[in-house]
Amino acid sequence: MTTEYLNHIGGEFRPARSARWIDSTDPATGEVWARVPASGAEDVDDAVAAAAAAFPAWRATPPLRRAALLRAWSEAVLARSAELAGIESRDNGRVLRETRDADVPGGALHIQYNASLADKITGDTVHLGGTALASTYYEPFGVVGVVIPWNAPLAMFFAKVSGALAAGNAVVVKPAEQACCSILAACELFERAGFPPGLVNVVSGTGPEAGEALVDHPGVAKLHFTGSTATGRRVTERSAANLKNLSLELGGKSPDIVFDDADLDAAAAGAAAGIYTGGAGQACVAGSRILIQDTIFEEFTERLRERAAAIRLGDPRDPDTGMGPIAFAGQYRKVLSYLESAPADGAEPLFGGRTGAAAVADPALAGGYWVEPTLFAAADNRPAVCREEVFGPVAVAIPFGSEEEAYALANETDYGLAGGAWTRDLNRAHRAIAAIEAGTVWINTFRRIHWAVPFGGHKQSGNLPANGVDGLREWLNLKAAWIELG
């Protein structure tokens, strides 16, 4: 039986005005299991109007009251944690050990963290001498739009919406149509937590319809977009027409550098987790370029092979599953295209590469979008699989000689989201932090993100810090005031 999820607008659940629907496919089986509204501009108009009506009272709500409501929302999320995690695992193939044990409880803690910042929004006083005095104020934008990606919808939803609400904004969310069931299911928790109707609205639909309507809407003062760099460029071009305040969290092609003095067991475990397990490489920070010192290249790639062979592919809702499928058919075809073109482009297959039924043992999952952990080898960054974001369990091992060569290879990319290095040398660790051109650098770990630590990209990976105290300011407008005292 197909499950039906509805938009959440003005505190009510309703279908799209067009009465059209989008099928949601279980990526583990390839079968349709749910449907969501195919919303358009008229639904976005309704959501923006509801948010605009709710904003004045929310802005006037004392910060400690906002914080209390956010904490109530967090508790409501935790009470439904198992159910929401199960929906997400079925909808986008993310394994239960990440949705249940990390995404949902971590999202609830992120809500609590942002709640703790609600009453700490302060400005500065600038003494100019004489009789003049200036002050700075941080104020909410009003109605903000949030576009959520399909790879980790709930974690993103909790993080972005709680930050916007803590800052005093009203919100309209457009989740990715490929995986939005968990977000739509979570919407009933807003009113249960005590939020006023219309404060948070969620409208599902495609990018060209609902997404572009949100970007173009004159009633949306700010837009936060998380997704690919290519789509981020299109969002930037469209938002230029109304000069909307824009925050972008975009893609990456993150280098994971392994020096020959590293703890190779720890590095192999970290590199495998950084690209294969959990989200099947469908993460903007995935360590898809593994740069290995030439003195240990063969040894380390063999360790990676052993780690990859031990990863169990299977039903994402099975707690013993280590890696799930690609999230939807379109992304599956994209990953397959890289697997097919990489050898002719100069990348040598080292292991993996099986897809579909050949990649998974359970016959019941033969129709799913499966790609086993795969590793290529390349001499440099020239092959497309080394330069472009595959967004799947596909990595490339590239050898290097000197430390300087490692950093040159790491930085030879248009992206700058994250990177890492494995070494026992403390001086080298500090050199790596300084040398890698990215918003986040990990030493002897990888793919770690925390709500209290700023996270954002350099180059074409985005333009903001999310998370932490700095991240709250993305939801606030800066105002300066002058007072003449004389």
pLDDT in tens, 416-427: 999 999 999 999
Assign 103 a pLDDT band (cuts: 50, 70, 90): very high
- Determine the average pLDDT of the residues in 123-128: 90
Residue 82: pLDDT over 80: yes
Residue 129: pLDDT over 90: no
- Residues of the chain with pLDDT > 90: what percent? 96
Residue 436: pLDDT over 80: yes
pLDDT at position 485, please?
Answer: 84
Q: How far is CA 102 from CA 28, 99, 266, in A?
A: 20, 6, 21
pLDDT at position 196, please?
Answer: 97
- Determine the average pLDDT of the residues in 332-354: 98
Residue 275: pLDDT over 80: yes
- Determine the average pLDDT of the residues in 126-152: 94
Average pLDDT, the chain: 97
Assign 121 a pLDDT band (cuts: 50, 70, 90): very high
Residue 338: pLDDT over 80: yes
CA separation for the pair 135, 120 (Å, rounded) = 16
Domains of the chain as residue ranges with CATH: 3-250+462-482 (3.40.605.10), 255-450 (3.40.309.10)
Residue 122: pLDDT over 90: yes
pLDDT at position 464, please?
Answer: 81
- Which sequence positions are flagged as catalytic? 249, 284
Residue 128: pLDDT over 90: no
- Determine the average pLDDT of the residues in 16-23: 98
pLDDT at position 329, please?
Answer: 98
163-212 pLDDT, tens digit each: 999 999 999 999 999 999 999 999 999 999 999 999 999 999 999 999 99
Residue 278: pLDDT over 80: no
Residue 127: pLDDT over 90: no
Assign 392 a pLDDT band (cuts: 50, 70, 90): very high
pLDDT at position 136, please?
Answer: 96
- Determine the average pLDDT of the residues in 238-244: 90
